[in-house]
Chain A
């Protein structure tokens, strides 16, 4: 595991993309294929099936070091990373680096844990931990607990490999997008010429829009742009090739099995079709709340009831491939023209084209945008009519022009310590609003404060803790913050009666007392 440990230490020690890239190339150049395959698998953020419960890990480490469990929890809260915390707590030996390769460690030590009973797991892990030094233990724990990224991820891995393979980065990205299996043969295939069979299930990298950060007038004449509603669902690519149906989420996860109704209707598509669109829970007229859609997505094999209660729709944006031909280089205008007849031939009501909004001027579009909430959308999408389908969040041809967020003044009720960069600081907050004379928790928020403010709020929390529940602290209701959020919906599933999306902190309102915070009843009136 030596080379891999060194790589991770290098990645960890720098924030420079350039140095990370160099470290990755050094590693991949010299590593055995079998080791490199596993390294890649983990660096791309893949998680193994959970092999041991983290609760047990904590107990075993506490036992071995004769520490009370609360002190392990306290330490975890400070360290902010369970793998690191447990590695630090295991009795320290002054061991040299272990000679096992990464492949051996994963395949002979880690994966077999799945077949062990609790006692065997404990014995195996204790022996591994004792053989490893602190760095090795940390990495090994990361491999068990997941969340292993080291600030690399798929796209940087792809860039490093593309440079080594002397391929274009998007090609490598595409190769890595499908289900990469961590073995030497798959790894070598990344460097090989591509076969047709390989590519059937492989989606294209998604083209993403940037948030519009200027006046739309600055984009030029309105006639050069296509405007659509910005739907709030799950961005996905639907592939129909060689009689196979594949559905990829933007998180590059295969989610086809969860939407059997889409598979049925996809059979009406011509062979070699790839559509880009948005998955929506749809009540026949308009989208249902995002929470409903989440329930569907989280169900691996949906039953009859949920299929009936939460029907889905694929809102089609774009045609990326037709008759097996990659159309991404064509202008949007042409891609759309070729899309219309394909969808026109489809039966059923599971596919719908995302309509284009007609406007003579930016002012008219702005007027349409102001009705976004009634349409249950987040605003408008603006796409340049002559633009090709790019990849990632690049270029100036796709913009999201969202409506302004909702804003409320809310009161800090609970806090929990953060992770990673925010380790040891209370940075995960739960905020409440008034309802019938009581402050009810209504949203969690993690982001929006500067480092200075984070420290200030952290001090506040420590000084005003009323009670502790494990890692969570309840604080006196004193601190008022202004929150912004999207997607306000009435919800019976939440105690507060509302569900919101993307809550974030705008600023701390030292000028307001908790009594001046907003009321949920009033908020509900804003739901249209």
Chain B
């Protein structure tokens, strides 16, 4: 799959011949363009990497000092080989970007992960017109239609309060970077300590360093847990489920914050007491809207339900294809 010198789908991932750079490459490369600081987009041991200025501190924490990292302000185009490259907000997590590549007046946009709804924490998504659009399709089925996050926030606070009344600790499972921080503003208005698991805590500080307003939090250290966590809200990554660490928080109620919580079967299979439908990806209507807004003539689909989404748009008359990727349907978010 290829779009002129702009973009090419290779066995190793997305590559721009004009810029001689790889995009969101998971294996080490000479020159990497990075949409955001999530592990599946970041890769490791690149020689040089470019990302948005706001993403850079987060990426640096994960990539280490060996990678030569360039943070570029949103909207500022720079020359790379034959191409002009710029980063534009994707609304997914702090610093997340769509990568715009321009060669001879033709434009490709790689969305990375994105959402249209505002979460009050990440820079809001911007529409970037283009000829070829590479879109994520993690939730690319019409059953995914996000409820208003403010309503989910109300439910979340009510859940916390009712657990407090029962003297239980509330454990909210959320990804360490992104989800764990964006849920924090939703917790404001309930009296009680918010404890961050050690994997999520450092990112809270990195968010604050960029001026993001978040309610006070503490780190959930062993000593802090010993002091008692009844009535507290603990934010931890999903990997703590069924671990001794989680048992120390008992009695506790467990809930997951994820777009997957919209489907009962998935929620039950994952074994959570409660679920809050809080996603950092586009839902079906947002996906349709974004493809339309981009004005693209060609669509490449990746992540999740790429097959159905590509077929749907082909039937709508768009040139749409699946970016070769294995079919990982219930990928975590």
Contacts and interface: CB of A to CB of B under 8 A. Distances in A.
A68 B316 CA distance: 10
A122 to B, nearest CB: 20
Interface string A65-91: 101101110110011110011001100
Interface stretch (A235-243, A319-327, A417-425, A432-440): A417-425
A421 B269 CA distance: 5
B41 to A, nearest CB: 22
B172 to A, nearest CB: 15
B143 A85 contact: yes
Contacts of B144: 88
B263 interface: yes
B315 interface: yes
B72 interface: no
A92 interface: yes
Contacts of A68: 312, 315
Nearest to A462: B327
Interface string B252-272: 000000000011111011010
Interface residues of A, number: 32
Given A88-B143, A420-B268, A423-B263, A74 B308 contact: yes
Nearest to A70: B311
Given A421-B265, A424-B265, A424-B330, A13 B273 contact: yes
Interface in A32-73: 65, 67-68, 70-72
Given A12-B264, A68-B315, A79-B263, A92 B269 contact: no
Interface of B, secondary structure class, is loop
Given A81-B264, A423-B265, A423-B269, A71 B330 contact: no
Contact of A80 (B265, B273, B315, B326): B265
Given A421-B268, A462-B327, A78 B312 contact: no
A361 interface: no
B21 to A, nearest CB: 31
Contacts of B312: 68, 71
Interface in B246-292: 262-266, 268-269, 271, 273-274
B329 A92 contact: no
A108 to B, nearest CB: 28
A422 B269 contact: yes
Nearest to A76: B143
A323 B270 CA distance: 54
Interface in A1-29: 12-15
Contact of A89 (B142, B269, B273): B142
Interface string A480-514: 00000000000000000000000000000000000
Given A88-B143, A88-B145, A422 B265 contact: yes
A71 B142 contact: yes
A419 B326 CA distance: 23
Please list the 8 inter-chain residue pairs (A to B) with the smallest Cβ-Cβ separation, ordered nearest first: A423-B265, A88-B143, A80-B265, A462-B327, A75-B141, A75-B143, A74-B308, A421-B269
